[in-house]
Chain A
Amino acid sequence: MKKNTSKRNVLLRNIILFGVIAIFVAGQVLALGSNSNPEPENAAGSAHNEHGTPEKFKAGEMIVEHIIDNHEWHILSYGNFHLSVPLPVILLDNGRLVSFCSSKFHHGHDQYKGFAIAHEGEYKGKIVKVDQARFASEGIITQQEGQKLPLDFSITKTVLAIFISLIFMTWLFIYIARMYEKRRGEAPKGIQSILEPIILFVRDDIAKPSIGEKKYQRYMPFLLTLFFFIFTNNLLGLVPIFPGGANVTGNIAVTMVLAVFTFLITTFSANKNYWLHIVNTPGVPWWLKIPVPLMPIVELIGVFTKPFVLMVRLFANITAGHIIVLGFISLIFIFGQMHPAFGYGISIVSIAFSIFMTLLELLVAFIQAYVFTLLSALYFGMAIEEHH
């Protein structure tokens, strides 16, 4: 009887798991299909322009649109109905602070206070000072020649996603810290026991071997925050609907900031031995250092390439994963435009591959968080390594 129940439970769990993944993928298809034409000329219909002729589906444009930042958080469109979360626009224009709601742009079709999102040109997708003459004549928003671009400090989709994930993390870990204090000396329980192995993994398999038993404790707060920030956002990035779906760790500005944090901590905790190693690299022939300081130059470049590589690796891995999933889903619409039957036919293959990729992305989400944290820890370890 008991065996029977457990069997049924496993089956039920599998069905739920499969269902959740299927919903995720279906959500991606929906979000993608509805959001495929946010350009002004397509506002009237989801796949038809003003003249009623079918608009060609541009997979590349659509994919890029999904992985870059945005001034509104689009959830779905159905016909003329657009559901999106408007976000605050904050601009610094010649020392003047301007802020308003992004819904004033009417999904990028309109200008407000002389600002709008550029349709084309060098600043495409960015908020510019509108070239009024061209907007009046052609309806296309471009940057006014000779004007300085306003500095954009808007709470964009990515910024909001960062805030949401960080607030979530703050709540979660302070809650767990309370549990640890309340249940001092007892075995972990509930959510605490889910996260404890990960915390111990970061401590015992990342920090301790890389930095060393003596000094690893100083770096634990950064390594844990870093790991959980990347891991949380990687996972949230796989959820197609709000508040997930923002491409946080696949955004180069985000990975850059993380890499800069690693770089600064490495540089400021570096000891004499580390700098000596750069200036006078041991174990290489003297003529590589004098008269032309070839090795010191290589080492110095290395100091900067290390965080640079961290930045690019995380960005590229997450972005690539998203592009592949979006690519598979785009196939449905590309084929669907040839003939609806083709679209339905290919959807089986596309969804199968998307599920596979999503599962792979789950793995990548963990691996990339692990790699970024491990390499950061290794760099810290190098910086404080004692001479032997």
Chain B
Amino acid sequence: MELVSPGIGLIFWMTLAFGAVLWVLGKYAWKPIMKSLHDREEFIDKALHEADLARQEMKELKFSNEKLLAEAKEERDEILKQAREIKEKLIENAKIKANEEANRIVENARETIQNEKMAAMVDLKNQIAKLSIDIAEKLLAHELSEPKKQKEYVDKLIRDARLN
């Protein structure tokens, strides 16, 4: 029967001791322990979250890098293409210009030649005329001494002039 009948002394001491320890531990042990645990958990949560964010950022950065690279490549190709086009155009233009220049030079040359030729001709004609006149002069001086021959000569001259 003693087994199941609680004694007053034991109840008294148990209440006192347990209550006191409950208060002391609650104030000096459980409070800091629970707080530290909570703080640590929060810290770990935060760190994990931040790591996640960083990973996400890295991913985005990598993605944007790739995009940038692709864009740069495209731009380079475009520039190269344009450059090639410009080059070809330049060459084409140069060719055309050179042709034109050549043609112009040839033309000029031809013109000059023509002019020269004309000048030469004129000069020649003048020379010939002068020579003719000289000859004629000499002839006249010589032939006019004889009236017959004179006549003959004039006829011949006329004939020749017509032929010319």
Q: Is the interface of B mostly helix, strand, loop or mixed?
A: helix
Please state if A251 and B18 are interface contacts (CB–CB under 8 Å): no
Q: Which residue of A lies closest to B30 (CB)?
A: A221
B163 at the interface (CB under 8 A from A): no
A352 at the interface (CB under 8 A from B): no
A184 and B7 in contact (CB under 8 A), knowing A170-B21, A174-B29?
Answer: no
Instruction: Find chain B residues with CB under 8 A from A151 CB.
Output: 8-9
Separation of A76 and B110 alpha carbons in the complex (Å): 146
Instruction: Find chain A residues with CB under 8 A from B161 CB.
Output: none
> Which residue in B2, B13, B29, B40 is a CB contact (below 8 Å) of A159?
B13
Interface size class of B (residues with CB under 8 A): 20 to 34
Distance (whole angstroms) from the CB of A373 to the closest CB of chain B: 14
A residues at B contact (CB < 8 Å): 64, 67-69, 90, 124-126, 151-156, 158-159, 162-163, 166, 169-170, 173-174, 176-177, 180-181, 184-185, 196, 199-200, 203, 217, 220-222, 224-225, 229, 251-254, 256-258, 260-261, 315, 319
Separation of A222 and B26 alpha carbons in the complex (Å): 8
B141 at the interface (CB under 8 A from A): no
Chain B residues 14 to 53 lying within 8 A of chain A, measured CB to CB, are: 14-15, 17-18, 20-22, 24-26, 28-34, 36-37, 39-40, 43
What are 10 sample pairs from A and B whose C-beta atoms fall under 8 A apart? A156-B7, A158-B10, A163-B13, A170-B29, A181-B36, A200-B37, A220-B30, A221-B31, A253-B7, A253-B11
Separation of A317 and B29 alpha carbons in the complex (Å): 30
Please state if B32 and A156 are interface contacts (CB–CB under 8 Å): no
Instruction: Find chain A residues with CB under 8 A from B8 CB.
Output: 151-153
A185 and B39 in contact (CB under 8 A), knowing A166-B21, A220-B30, A254-B14?
Answer: yes
Please state if B13 and A155 are interface contacts (CB–CB under 8 Å): yes
A166 and B10 in contact (CB under 8 A), knowing A173-B29, A174-B29, A225-B25?
Answer: no
> Which residue in A156, A221, A260 is a CB contact (below 8 Å) of B10?
A156
Q: Which residue of B lies closest to A153 (CB)?
A: B9
Distance (whole angstroms) from the CB of B47 to the closest CB of chain A: 10
Which of B5, B22, B28, B43 has most chain A Cβ within 10 Å?
Answer: B22
Instruction: Find chain B residues with CB under 8 A from A256 CB.
Output: 6, 11
Q: Which residue of B lies closest to A91 (CB)?
A: B9
Instruction: Find chain B residues with CB under 8 A from A222 CB.
Output: 22, 26
Separation of A256 and B9 alpha carbons in the complex (Å): 13
Instruction: Find chain A residues with CB under 8 A from B31 CB.
Output: 177, 221
A162 and B39 in contact (CB under 8 A), knowing A177-B29, A252-B4?
Answer: no
Separation of A163 and B13 alpha carbons in the complex (Å): 9
Distance (whole angstroms) from the CB of B79 to the closest CB of chain A: 55
Q: Which residue of B lies closest to A260 (CB)?
A: B15
